[in-house]
Amino acid sequence: MITLYDFELSGNCYKLRLMMSILGVRYDIVPVDFYPGREHKSDWFLKLNPFGELPVLVDDGLVLRDSQAILVYLARKYDTTGKWFPVDDPALTAEIEIWHDFANRITGTASAARLTITMNYDFDLEKAQSGAHQLFRTMDEHLWFAEREGREWLCKADHPTTADIACFPYTALSEEGGISRQDYPAIRRWLDRVRRIEGFTAMSGVFPASRAREAS
Amino acid sequence: MPIAPSAAILDAWHVFSAAAEIGPGPYRSTLLLDTRLDYRRGTNGEVEVRRRDTGAALLVIERYGFAWTSLGSPPDDLFSIPEFYEPDRKNMSCGSLGVNVSAPRAVENFLDMGHFPYVHTGILGEEPHTEVKEYDVEISYERDEILATRCRFYQPRAALSADEGQDVEYIYRVPHPYCSVLYKSCPADESRLDVIGIFCQPMTEETIRAHLLQSMIDDENTITAMRRFQQTIFGQDKPILENQYPKRLPLDPRAETPIRADKSAIAYRRWLSQKGVNYGVIPQAA
Amino acid sequence: MTQTMTDIRHPAWHPIASSEDLPFRHVYHGQLLGQEFAVWRADDGNVNVWENRCLHRGVRLSIGLNEGAELKCQYHGWRYANRSAGCTYIPAHPADAPARRITNRTFPAVESLGLVWSAMGDVTPFAPPLPEGNWMPLRPLPVNARPGAVLAALTAAREAESDVESLPPLGARLVLTGVDGRAAVFFVQPVDSGRAVIRGVVEAESWDDQLSLLRLFNERLSTLRRQVEAEMALEEAPEPLVPVYEPVSLELATMPDLRFGRQAKLRVRVARKWQAGADVTGLELAALEGHLPTFQPGAHLDLFLPNGLIRQYSITNGPGELLSYTVGVKREPDSRGGSVAIADELREGDVVAISEPRNNFPLRRDATRTILIAGGIGITPLLAMAKTLASSRLPFELHVFARSPEHVAFPEALDKLGESVVPHIGLDPAGTAAEIEQLVSGYGFARHLYVCGPGPMLDLVRRRTAEAGWPEEAVHFEYFKNVNEIDLSSTFTVELARSALTLAIPSGKSILEVMRENGVDAPSSCEQGACGTCLTTVLEGIPDHQDVYLNDTERRSNSCMMTCVSRAKSDRLVLDI
């Protein structure tokens, strides 16, 4: 059985809830009082993850940290289609990793801005916001040309991958960090597409999309 | 250039931190009514607050697990929540969350039931049970607060201790221009009410920190789990609040379109107008 | 020289999006001159440009849901119709039609050159700035700089000594350096005082590899953006423009509906007249220009016939269909002249007058199951309801009672509703009674039943639902007409509380008529106690009900009445008028 050490308002925790919801994997939640309790810095939690960071996922005694690493683990272990983290195409695997890294950069900027405004963290807000805008410009351009080439997702595949799951939460939550997405229409369309993936689940701050095209 | 708050706001007590988060040691800083404050817990255990611009020390009281101060001449005490002192309650702060919205918009949202099925889907409401039934609202001049009673709404999961849908009864109080307290049926004990408070710290006219209080009758769940529930709810409200325009609450009745379900909001806007509140609102043109 | 702010704020058409920015069921977040837009394409292809603010509580509609024919606000689920932006449903009050006309602010929308154009203020009709052709939009590029400065930078970045053709207000055709001499046309969208979007178009056939062309221009414009933004960083940022939030009408903010009697406010063209069933004529009544007003499922309109008669017909349209209203007219041999006049005299192309739609048969959407029962021509309001429920995926069944398969009206529309439609064909009165008894046998919480058909059928449903334990408020009736004999013999006094008028009602005249004679305009439609339009609040006195609209509880409450047929048992009535 899987246990997720989880904070509802964390985008990195949400990545895993989203992935497991899409894959239809059952799991238990242990709520961690990240704020205001700072329980992720408590002794019991530091034993689980010495970095004192959420999320942590325990599967049958195996303790994992780092949301992107856990995404890869879940996809490799539980995705019977092999599509969420394909390993038979080296170029595609590398491309997914590039976007996993991009997701970390979004966390370093958009999530930092959100923590500053929402939970009174002491980051440089302006720097975090402008950093996020730079990333979003790159991402919007990438997605716009992907659409021109007939693709809907971040990587060169006709289906979503863990890259889309990794980049989704803090992009979708950016406005809580004062980062408007008005200038990124291709990102806004991609957010709609992710929200229409079968098995999608929302979190506080992310609403579900309207229904996609009906089968007719 | 920030506007000068009128007496109704300047002389009121305003929350600025959860009491438990104020420790001894270096000063911490926050913003209240565009004014930078520094605060810490002194060696005698008392909270000390001073304005950074003038260095003046400000009055402080601790109530309901939060610290309150004032930039003017505050009343003797804060509004009362007697339930807080009942010995078997679990009292907790659910955090102080920053939101890009005015304090009155956040209070008005707190009074609103019609959004439950759309914003708190599956928890506080669910389509197709969308009706806001008739309820009563009064402005009590004697106690200087707004009271909405007989509020009922169908909720799939009203509290953490609820495991099935039920019509839940609410009572709302607005005892302060930027604070509201609600009482709702307690799933664990039919004869009593859970208490949830939102205390808004107006940092600027259009940015707040919302300090969340829960005072619950619940023997089963941990504080962590109860906090998580309340944070989930508030986290769902947040994107709505941050997408409201204009951010300041318009007091002109013609600015927006009220319906019967908005009776308490209409009373709240009128009450703010009558009190001469000018901060975080767009006053009615004379 | 860059243009001044007063120049760019001058009302003019500007591009605000690419057509391809509006895919299926998406809401685009646009902005022009500080005014935010929610831009969405309905399933019928129509592009809506609305103020980005729900009139209820100011929430941005760009975070709302595009449901194909309606936009649904994320905050309280209010629904606004395609084209008109009129509110069609307020879930907090599911039993009420949004009686007061709540309509979001709309802006014009035109698609041309692969771009969506809009404007604020008074503008002349849209004229394409370029001849129609095979234009391909470039990737739009947002720039954090003054719009005038962006245009100036584009102009300055052209090939040496090449020509510039200016396309006011903020456009130019020119050849940029670094794009292999390819001419392009750039329109600068003034988003705000310090923000712009460069929207370029090129002639698509001028290049074999369109993707490379798009990349080339994107790269060139990105370089230009870096330069412009670096220069702007040295300047003080201009103050953002302040959007205008127009106040809602006084009527919406403070007063109950301003109410009117029968008024032929609209002119429509008979776009199509056809045999919609064995004895039913279908009429498609199209707007002469633009679109028709918002309606809600269950609504009817008054049709003003050439022979002077006024008749009520239910609108059969689905949500967001506002280019025409489709109604069904039953040809009745004993009619008072209405249906015969329509069947024989109206021709396609004729222009006739109609009232605005009115809804006294509102559809709740908070039912866990909705049962619709139609007898004969009673299908018309229920068809609109069924279309609405189907498009919102709410569970319902539509029972259609008809004499023969040929007598089922609007068969094509019913086919589209699939298995939710249950026909009951050729039943005698006993068979109908048995069928209805079975249909209403299972009352459950949050179920609602709507019935429209001949009087005996409605009476039957009334009796059977009561026996089966349905609460009155869960059963909704629409009568075609009031067959009760109206007794106009009594005399009494009516006080109009808000108008401060006292009227003596003589025998032979209705309250409504006497009010009209005294200059009090009150709404009415059928004027025979069937449609519910003249419903009035009674403050004092005991009404003598002669209508078929109110249910028993409402009658007994003595708190409301229909002024067109009902009178007084007491000597005096005080009405809230």
| CATH number of A11's domain | 3.40.30.10
User: Which residue reads 């246990």 in tokens?
Assistant: A3
In this prediction, the residues of chain C whose per-residue pLDDT falls under 50 are 1-6, 254-260
A:C CB pairs within 8 Å: 47
| CATH number of B35's domain | 2.20.25.680
Where do you find CATH 3.40.50.80 in chain C? Answer: 369-479
> Looking at the structure, do residues B45 and B96 belong to the same domain, yes or no?
no
The average pLDDT across B213-221 equals 93
Neighbouring-strand partners of residue B140: B145
Cα C557 to Cα A55: distance, rounded to the nearest angstrom: 61
Q: What is the pLDDT of residue C500?
A: 75
Other C-beta atoms within 10 Å of C572: how many?
A: 13
More confident residue, A172 or C446: A172
DSSP per position, C497-530: TTTTEEEEE-TTS-HHHHHHHTT-----SSSSSS
Cα A22 to Cα A197: distance, rounded to the nearest angstrom: 8
CB nearest to B128's CB, from C56, C248, C367: C367
> Looking at the structure, do residues B63 and B176 belong to the same domain, yes or no?
no
Cα B219 to Cα C50: distance, rounded to the nearest angstrom: 50
CB nearest to C63's CB, from B113, B239, B252: B239
| CATH number of B128's domain | 3.90.380.10
Task: Note whether C17 contacts A: Cβ–Cβ < 8 A.
Answer: yes
Q: What is the pLDDT of residue A65?
A: 97
Give the residue from B47, B69, B91 where a domain finishes: B69
> Looking at the structure, do residues A171 and A97 belong to the same domain, yes or no?
yes
The closest alpha carbon to B182, from B215, B155, B136, belongs to B215
Domains identified in chain A, total number = 2
Q: Are A193 and A146 in contact (CB under 8 A)?
A: no
CA C44 → CA C48, C68, C85, C103, C417, distances in Å?
Answer: 11, 8, 15, 20, 18
Q: What are phi and psi of C227, to 5 degrees?
A: -65, -50
Nearest-Cα residue of chain A relative to residue B92: A36
ipTM > 0.90, yes or no: yes
Residues of B in contact with C253 (CB under 8 A): 253-254, 257-258
Are C75 and B259 inside 8 Å of each other by CB? no
Task: Note whether B124 contacts A: Cβ–Cβ < 8 A.
Answer: no
The average pLDDT across B98-126 equals 97
pLDDT value at A95 more than 50 = yes
Domains identified in chain B, total number = 2
Q: Does domain C5-234 have CATH number 3.30.70.270?
A: no
CA C528 → CA B144, C454, C483, C524, C563, distances in Å?
Answer: 51, 15, 9, 10, 10
Q: Which chains touch C (3 or more CB pairs under 8 A)?
A: A, B
Q: Which domain holds residue B48?
A: 7-69
> Looking at the structure, do residues A52 and A113 belong to the same domain, yes or no?
no
> Looking at the structure, do residues A98 and A191 belong to the same domain, yes or no?
yes
> Looking at the structure, do residues B123 and B25 belong to the same domain, yes or no?
no
> Looking at the structure, do residues B51 and B162 belong to the same domain, yes or no?
no
Cα A162 to Cα C542: distance, rounded to the nearest angstrom: 71
User: Which residue reads 């309509």 in tokens?
Assistant: C103
Pairing mode, if any, of strands C266-277 and C280-287?
A: antiparallel
CB nearest to A9's CB, from B98, B235, B243: B235
**CATH top-level class of C369-479:** alpha beta
- Extract the tokens encoding C248: 């809602």
> Looking at the structure, do residues B91 and B113 belong to the same domain, yes or no?
yes
> Looking at the structure, do residues A142 and A105 belong to the same domain, yes or no?
yes
Task: Note whether A150 contacts C: Cβ–Cβ < 8 A.
Answer: no
Q: What is the pLDDT of residue C258?
A: 35
> Looking at the structure, do residues B224 and B268 belong to the same domain, yes or no?
yes
The closest alpha carbon to C111, from C39, C36, C190, belongs to C39
Q: Give, in degrees to the nearest 5, the angle at Cα A165 between C197 and A195.
A: 65
Quick check: is A210 in a domain?
Answer: no
> Looking at the structure, do residues A97 and A189 belong to the same domain, yes or no?
yes
Cα A99 to Cα A107: distance, rounded to the nearest angstrom: 12
Quick check: is A48 in a domain?
Answer: yes
In chain B, % helix, strand, coil (3-state, to 5) comes to 20, 40, 40
pLDDT value at B58 more than 70 = yes
Quick check: is B160 in a domain?
Answer: yes
Q: Which chains touch A (3 or more CB pairs under 8 A)?
A: B, C
Q: What is the pLDDT of residue C339?
A: 67
Q: What are phi and psi of C444, to 5 degrees?
A: -140, 165
pLDDT digits (tens, 9 = 90+) for B75-108: 999 999 999 999 999 999 999 999 999 999 999 9
DSSP per position, C392-453: TT--EEEEEEESSGGG-S-HHHHHHTGGGEEEEES--HHHHHHHHHHHTS---TTEEEEEEE
Residues of C in contact with A212 (CB under 8 A): 24-25
pLDDT digits (tens, 9 = 90+) for A1-49: 999 999 999 999 999 999 999 999 999 999 999 999 999 999 999 999 9
> Looking at the structure, do residues A54 and A114 belong to the same domain, yes or no?
no
Quick check: is B76 in a domain?
Answer: no
pTM reported for the whole predicted model: 0.87
User: Which residue reads 């090939």 in tokens?
Assistant: C159
Task: Note whether A118 contacts B: Cβ–Cβ < 8 A.
Answer: yes
Q: What is the DSSP letter of C480?
A: S
> Looking at the structure, do residues A95 and A177 belong to the same domain, yes or no?
yes
| CATH number of A137's domain | 1.20.1050.10
Are A39 and B209 inside 8 Å of each other by CB? no
Are C76 and B252 inside 8 Å of each other by CB? no
| Structure confidence at residue A82 as a pLDDT band (50, 70, 90) | very high
pLDDT value at B140 more than 90 = no
A:B CB pairs within 8 Å: 65
Side-by-side strand order, sheet with C79-81: C65-66, C70-72, C79-81, C87-89
Q: Which of C35, C36, C57 to mutate to test the interface with B (most CBs of B within 10 A)?
A: C57
Are B224 and A31 inside 8 Å of each other by CB? yes
Q: Give, in degrees to the nearest 5, the angle at Cα C280 between C279 and C284.
A: 160
Are A145 and C211 inside 8 Å of each other by CB? yes
User: Which residue reads 């329980």 in tokens?
Assistant: A39
Q: What is the pLDDT of residue C260?
A: 46
Q: What are phi and psi of A50, to 5 degrees?
A: -60, -20
Residues of B in contact with A7 (CB under 8 A): 228
Q: What is the pLDDT of residue C553?
A: 85
Q: Does domain C492-575 have CATH number 3.10.20.30?
A: yes
Residues of A in contact with B236 (CB under 8 A): 204-205
Other C-beta atoms within 10 Å of C136: how many?
A: 19
Q: What is the pLDDT of residue C3?
A: 44
Task: Note whether C368 contacts B: Cβ–Cβ < 8 A.
Answer: yes
Q: What is the pLDDT of residue C458?
A: 92
> Looking at the structure, do residues B39 and B89 belong to the same domain, yes or no?
no
Cα B276 to Cα C495: distance, rounded to the nearest angstrom: 40
Residues of A in contact with B37 (CB under 8 A): none
Distance from the Cα of C62 to chain B's closest Cα (Å) equals 9
pLDDT value at B145 more than 70 = yes
Q: What is the pLDDT of residue C213?
A: 92
Q: What is the pLDDT of residue C312?
A: 87
Quick check: is B93 in a domain?
Answer: yes
> Looking at the structure, do residues B43 and B91 belong to the same domain, yes or no?
no
- Taking each helix axis from N to C end, the angle separating B263-275 and B103-110, rounded to the nearest 10 degrees, works out to 150
Q: Is B196 helix (H, G, I), strand (E, B) or coil?
A: strand
> Looking at the structure, do residues A188 and A105 belong to the same domain, yes or no?
yes
Mean pLDDT, chain A, as a whole number?
96
Are A37 and B227 inside 8 Å of each other by CB? yes
Residues of B in contact with C63 (CB under 8 A): 239, 243
Pairing mode, if any, of strands C280-287 and C324-330?
A: antiparallel
Helices (H), B39-174: 103-110, 116-119
Quick check: is B77 in a domain?
Answer: no
Q: Are B245 and C58 in contact (CB under 8 A)?
A: yes
> Looking at the structure, do residues B235 and B94 belong to the same domain, yes or no?
yes
Nearest-Cα residue of chain B relative to residue C389: B128
Quick check: is A208 in a domain?
Answer: no
Cα A74 to Cα A59: distance, rounded to the nearest angstrom: 10
- Which of the listed CATH numbers 3.40.50.80, 2.40.50.140, 2.40.30.10, 3.30.70.260 matches domain C266-354? 2.40.30.10
Q: Is A77 helix (H, G, I), strand (E, B) or coil?
A: helix
Q: Which domain holds residue A191?
A: 90-195
* Interface subset of A 85-124, CB within 8 angstroms of C: none
CB nearest to A37's CB, from B224, B235, B242: B224
> Looking at the structure, do residues B32 and B142 belong to the same domain, yes or no?
no
